[in-house]
Structures are given as C-alpha cells and as structure tokens.
Structure 1
Amino acid sequence: MMTAIKQTLRGNLKLNEPMARHTSWRVGGPAERYFEPADLDDLAEFLAQKDKDEPVMWLGLGSNLLVRDGGIRGTVIITSGLLNEIELLDEGLVRAEAGVACAKVARFCGRQQLVGVEFLAGIPGTMGGALAMNAGAFGGETWQHVVAVETIDCHGQRHLRQPAEFAISYRHVKGVADEWFVAAHLRLHCGDSDTATARIKELLEIRNASQPIGQPSCGSVFRNPDGDYAARLIEASGLKGCCIGGACVSEKHANFIINSGNATAAD
C-alpha cells in the first residue's frame, strides 16, 4: 500500500527513520514511516490515500516530546521546515502554518509592527505544537491571539475552525476528533517594531540565563500546579542534579531534564 502511495507523493517518505535525529531530547527509536510533505496539497494526498487504520503522529521541532526506545508504529508526519509559510493577511491579521517556528512568528510580527506574541520567541517549538498545547511563556498564551485555525482531517479534507469549537485551558487544547492543525490566524495589535524587538531580546536573555540552553532537553517537563511552580517543588525535593542513566535533572533549572549524552527514553 505504502509503495503505491509513495509514487503519487512529491514529498519524502522514509522507512524506519531514527527519531533520535528529530527530537530535542535526542532519544527515541525508529518510526515505521516518516513523511516530509512537499506542501499542504501533498499532505492531503497522503492522508486521503493512507490506510484508514494507519496510526499518524505529527512532529514539528521535536520539543516537548519523548519517543520510546522501541520507536513509533505507523507514520510520523514532519511539519517543520515544510509547512513554513507565514504571511500578513490583513492589517493586524497574520497566518502562520504549523511548521513555522514560534520564534520566527514573534520576529515576523515585530517587523510588521504587530505586538503581543513576543513571548513566542522563548518557546522552542512550532506553531502546530503551540496550538496543540496552548503553549505559553512569560505570561502569554498562544490561544489568546487565535481568531481561527485551519485543520486537516484523516481523509485529507481541510477545514476552517473557530476558537469556540475547542476546549482551551492551561497547556491543554481539546479539539475536533481526527483533525490536526495546519495553520493559525492570529489577531494582533499595532505597535512599535523597535519595542517588540527589544522585548524579544529581553525575554531571550531571561531564558538563556535561567535555562540549560545548548543541552538536549524537551523544554519544561511538568506543568505548574495552581499557585506554585514545578521547578520550585522539584528543587525543594532535593532532585537538582539527580540522574538516572543519562537523564539528569538540570542544575540550572529543575523543571528541565537533560540528556547528558547517552540517555535512553527509559532513563
């Protein structure tokens, strides 16, 4: 079946692709199939032709994700670097595809003199992932600015959805079954480009000073409980620097687990 589908696709379909190459933790076994669509039409073609029972998993920059050592059954669809269009649709309205890095969205909006999403510069993922979990940082959250999303279903059909069709909460979004995000429409306020650039620079300096940048991690691991911080609780438990195999609680930020060089997913 996959051999026949491959002949109709313009993107790259690989077999037994090691996921450690594609996750920020640098761990994980192989995906049975790994698909890099050429564009949204190519993605729709794949979804329309795949077996209805074929498991599908979506991947952006591979942050906030732990792939088991045994790998992934089914097909992993990669969006980063491919579904990467970002454009100004109207005054104050930006469309960003799922594979666009969050930091790129922040910088693009700043150049367009649009403000409000500077916090995205500190999130090491893509817009698809940010939509899926309502990613946030420094007091901002993704869905605060979303006025519509484009989705694609398991048959390759595309839909335009409104925020009211989703249950949105802290780091959690419950959407329509068997549909996945392919683009966000963001409504932003007009502002000053220099001010936005300065704010992005400030947030990145805060992040770099407090987080183990440059070491393999998935970003923050645990959600903050009401009225407290996961990092404070972990540090208070005396777990900073604690290691199991090659997986270590960061000495710099207790809500980060880093791969010290030879970690497995089991660690």
Structure 2
Amino acid sequence: MGVRGKLTPDAPLAPLVWFKTGGAAEWLFEPKDAEDLAQFLSDLDPQVPVMALGLGSNLIVRDGGVPGVVVRLGKAFAKVERIDDVTLACGAGASGILVSSTARDTGIGGLEFLRSIPGTVGGFVRMNGGAYGREVKDILIDCEVVLRDGTRQILPLADLHYTYRHSELPEGAIVIAATFRGHPDAPEAIQAEMDRIAASREASQPLRSKTGGSTFKNPEGHKAWALVDAAGCRGLMLGGAQVSEKHTNFLINTGAATSAEIEALGEEVRARVLAQSGVALEWEIQRIGNSEPSPLQGRGLGEGHGANG
C-alpha cells in the first residue's frame, strides 16, 4: 500500500515545536489530502498509535521521541473559505491568524480571539481553545474528523461535550476541518479588536522566546500565573529551562534546555504551588512521547509503506 503524501521514518520533531526540544517521531506522515489520510489510517495496523501535530505550540515532545505515527497537516488542510455572511469553513491546518484575518476581510466578527492563540484549527477544536473571554465552543458549528480506522465523520458541537480546555473527541480521531460562526461586523471594528488583543499579548507574554504558551490551566477561582508568582517561582530555573519573568504561566527554553528539564521544572512549580496555596495545578501543555529512547524505535509500519514525496 502506498501513500500520496510524505512518510518519513525517525523524523526529528524539535524543529516543528515551539520549545525546539525533544526526540524524533517513529514515523511522520504529511498527507496529501483528506482521502490520503483516511486511506493511510484504514490500512495502518490498529495497534500503531497515531497523533496529530499542529503548530507545536502547546506541546512538550519528550526526549525519547514519539512511538507510532505523528500526522502533520499541511497546506492542503489550511484553507479558510466564507460560506455565508457569518460562517467560515476552515481546514484544520489553518492558523488562528489566518482564520481571524479572513473573518475580518469578510466582515465576520466574534472570531478575533483566535488571533491570540498560537496554534491551528485542529488544536483549537480538540482543546476548546480560548482567550480574552471567548472559547471555540462559542463559535463552532461542527467539525470533520478522520477516525482511527479511516472513517470520516461530521461531529456537531453537542457531540464534543466541551469543558474548559477539553473535548470528548473519539480516541485517535484527527480533526481535518471545522465550521465557525460569528456575527456581522465592520472590518475596521474587527481589526481594532485584533490590534487590541495583539498589543495585550505583546505586553504581557514572552512572545520572542522558545516557549509553549500557557503551561497550566486556570483553577476554578484562580489565575495560574498568580499562584505561580505567589509561590516564588518567577524566574526559577532548572538546567536550561526557566519560568518566565514576564509571565509566570509560561516556561522558556533559554537556549539548551532538554524536554526533561522543561517538564521537571513544571512539576517543581506544581509542587511549590501546592505547598504554598493548597491548589493542584493541572497541565495545559500536552506532554507526549517517551522519556527515554524506546527499544521499539524504527520498527516497520507493515508492508507497502514507503517514504513517498
């Protein structure tokens, strides 16, 4: 069985994630289109783990690498199109900046907050991404997924059972598209709100650093950054990893950090916050892969898979 996209063994993931750390994917698959992805998953051994990778912003790839297949959706999945006066059809590979800019150009308000989330539509939908008082659940109509067995399915908003930074997508499902609904608004007003959001982010977040975005979820009734600050963790370092001086809910790779150091620093912060305030912080950043190199690294996917360009 062949693929029409690109299938790469032992593919380094560090260049593809914001922290610029971590090991390789056993296999990296960049499908040519939705049909290519569906066929690939249909033919793949059901025991092989599969996960999707977007912009790699809210992610720690552990140093031992990721077993199975990492799927990265490219340009074929990055289209954003106007359906009507208030609705956009968005590919899962489209960035928040592209979606919000297209909404502005077509006079659709209410999607400005996506400008501030470093990621792609697939990640937003999976994690109910949000910022500045809005969440994906406020704008999503439905999404299209490819299930682990290769079946394609449209899931309405209600089926995702959204809670804070969480959805109940089927295990192994890969989001390939989403439909967002806003409201009519003037492009000038939309741009003004996007500018306000961009300025707020620039002032408060370490955007020029190798970081992973918000590290911990905000506990009920608290701000994570304030709890971290109160526990004395501002600027705390472990190896090459540091708690940001600018925004204490961000971890930074100062240059030569390992993923192990970044994750261990996060656990140290959690321990200090728990001791100081009694609040158990939950990770918002997803951590994937093995802490140590796997003895299974490099195993075959089965007959017929090849690295096609």
TM-score scaled by structure 1? Answer: 0.95
CA distance in 1 between counterparts of 2:129 and 2:47 reads: 30
| TM-superposed deviation, 1:211 | 0.4
* Displacement after TM superposition at 1:178 (Å): 3.6
Q: Percent identity?
A: 39
Matches within 5 A, 1:62-101: 62-101=56-95
How far is the alpha carbon of 1:204 from its aligned partner?
0.4
- Asked if the contact 2:14–2:22 (Cα under 8 Å) also holds between the matched residues in 1, the reply is yes
Do the aligned partners of 1:80 and 1:101 also contact (CA within 8 Å) in 2? Answer: no
Asked whether the 8 Å contact 2:51–2:174 carries over to 1, the reply is: no
Map Cα deviations across residues 31-81 of structure 1 (whole Å, 9 max, x no partner): 110011111111112111111111101100001111110000001000244
Runs of 4+ in 1 over 6 A off after TM superposition: none
1:35 match: 29
Q: Secondary structure at the match of 1:169?
A: coil
The 2-side partners of 1:106 and 1:69 are apart by 34
Post-superposition shift, 1:195? 0.5
Query: Given the alignment of the two structures, is residue 45 of structure 1 paired with residue 39 of structure 2, yes or no?
Result: yes
Q: Answer yes or no: is the 8 Å Cα contact 2:85–2:108 preserved in 1.
A: no
> What runs of 5+ residues in structure 1 fail to find an aligned partner?
none
User: What secondary structure does 2:170 align onto?
Assistant: coil
Equivalent residue for 1:135, pick from 129, 141, 163: 129
What residue is the counterpart of 2:204 in the other structure?
210
Find the aligned partners of 2:190 and 2:76 in 1 and give their Cα distance.
Answer: 27
Comparing 173-182 with 154-163, greater Cα deviation is found at 173-182
Query: Which structure has more RCO (C-alpha within 8 Å, separation ≥ 6)?
Result: 2
> Partner of 1:169 in structure 2?
163
**Cα contact 1:247–1:263 (8 A) shared by 2:** yes
Given that 1:80 and 1:126 are in contact with CA atoms closer than 8 Å, whether structure 2 keeps it comes out as no
- The 2-side partners of 1:176 and 1:13 are apart by 24
SS of alignment partner, residue 173 of structure 1: coil
- Give distance in 1, aligned partners of 2:48 and 2:41: 10
Q: Is residue 186 of structure 2 the alignment partner of residue 192 of structure 1?
A: yes
Distance apart, 1:92 and its partner CA: 1.3
User: 2:251: which partner in 1?
Assistant: 257
Kept in 1: contact 2:128–2:163 (CA 8 A): yes
Question: Contact 2:126–2:175 at 8 Å: present in 1 too?
Answer: yes
C-alpha distance in 2, partners of 1:166/1:116? 21
Alpha-carbon distance in structure 2 between the residues aligned to 1:44 and 1:67: 25
Alpha-carbon separation, structure 1, partners of 2:142 and 2:159? 10
| Number of residue pairs matched by the alignment | 261
Structure 1 counterpart of 2:140, from 146, 149, 162: 146
Contact kept in structure 1, 2:85 and 2:107, CA below 8 Å: no
CA distance in 2, matches of 1:109, 1:144: 15
